[in-house]
Chains A and B, each alone.
Chain A
């Protein structure tokens, strides 16, 4: 176990980072979507991210809005376009992780943001990979929503279990 950490500006740094990731995610979605409506949705995502910095309960809203923003683009593109959105999915997840860390640091305790950022990036990467895998699976086998749901959920859970066991063995 490392030493006791006493870094004061950690919360501010995490908040700035969350906002930056939300902004970059919005830009990615707007670029892939290529329309004024997508830019507006991306702007709304950034606004709700700012709100979630103050009110922890808005983290749920940020994730839902972020995924709906991606869904609006996904529905109009094919498999290739959908795969381009994997970094955006990771961005939404990373933003939520960072917002949760900011909310957790509501008391003015000092801390080291390093492990938090690393974990957020890992979650984002995992989310992106799962999204891409399920998207490819559903596109390849041309499943309908209900079989797709069952298959995707099963695949996702299996992947999760495998990742968890891999992390434990390390």
Chain B
């Protein structure tokens, strides 16, 4: 195998799992003639016909070379085996980072091969540039071609496609095929942009919204109880023990007072509108998460078919990056319905966890998931982000009707959640999520009271 850059091939095996394999699943496979083939045929036969029509045998001599060239070139059929794959060294990068990768192309026999990595969005070629493409002189495959891209905009990028065009040396027929697609790359915003994207929020919005029944080591007093073997001496309440004449211990609430799981949902397409949609979900999720993190809650990110990703307790930049990364990952999983998921179905959620869904209601799985968690006894709520202002302006009556239907479907999904006992609050347009979170908190309180009232047989307040 040829290796244009042996240094870059080191570590190829460890990243092989991230590589996309080419030959299956692509329909674009065309065999086309070179512009010379119609030229030789037209000129060759045209001259022969002209010779017959004029009765000039000498004109045959003008058509003969063209026919000879056709006869020589046509038997050289393009390669029947043509496949390739793209490997990226990273699955995640920061904006303006340079990501290296390698393209591997296989074909049978001797061929002249053009290789182009096309339709790149959110990434700019660095080497080679201005296009990630090579024109390989006649030779045998396989060949490895290293390349480097710069991540220009944040988001999930997997839009590139590897096109290969091959023909035999001197042949007039070539084969053009899309042999592989780009492995997904999640590009996170830089620290500066991240701060602007997810501005710190006022923690009063949700802090203290709930208290767990768990008790343990902490600073907040929970109760006093008689001493039991195994209790720490430092927990003995000396005053109470002296009054009651037997050892009593002080029991506190643990530092971590609750578990909050954010059920995130985002579907994206390419472009600025999609990025704004992701940013809105991220902002709302971060508003909820940062408030709970400040209240010492344990905050996790929940996505379909994936394990819970727990945010670092102190929040900060790392937690924000993690949140965005998770959102981009979820978007990719939702977008790519064909991708195999490591785990199917729902995952284990701690029984005392509060599940808060943050969604644009574009993914079909979101509502059933949240209702499932409600039915399994979790406290649940949903923040629904209105992204209707991100839709393109309707150009026709059909567009207007489609928009209305889409909005009606969103309302129906909200009603379905409410009916299932999941309080919802809507975050309008580009507004902050604070008011919606307060509204959701009020609704959840009313909901809890009504459940207690129903449980105790009294009329709800």
Contact = CB atoms under 8 A, between A and B. Distances in A.
Interface in A94-114: 96-97, 99-100, 103-105, 107-112
- Most A CB contacts (10 A, CB to CB) among B46, B62, B116, B145 go to B62
Contacts of B4: 3-4
Nearest to B75: A164
Contacts of B46: 64, 67
A99 B36 CA distance: 9
B40 to A, nearest CB: 7
20 contacts: A59-B36, A62-B39, A64-B46, A74-B59, A75-B59, A89-B65, A96-B39, A100-B35, A108-B131, A109-B116, A109-B131, A109-B133, A109-B134, A130-B68, A131-B61, A131-B64, A131-B65, A153-B48, A159-B68, A163-B68
Nearest to A6: B128
Contacts of B39: 59-60, 62-64, 96, 100
A60 B39 CA distance: 4
A11 B42 CA distance: 26
Contacts of A149: 48, 51-52, 57, 60
A32 interface: no
Given A105-B135, A153-B67, A145 B35 contact: no
B136 A127 contact: no
B415 interface: no
Interface stretch (A20-28, A36-44, A133-141): A133-141
Contacts of B54: 75, 145
A130 B131 contact: no
Contacts of A105: 135
A127 B62 CA distance: 9
Size bin of chain A's contact surface: 35 or more
A152 B64 contact: yes
- Most A CB contacts (10 A, CB to CB) among B39, B40, B75, B136 go to B39
B55 to A, nearest CB: 5
A6 B132 CA distance: 11
B114 interface: yes
Contacts of B116: 107, 109
B128 A145 contact: no
A27 to B, nearest CB: 19
B68 A110 contact: no
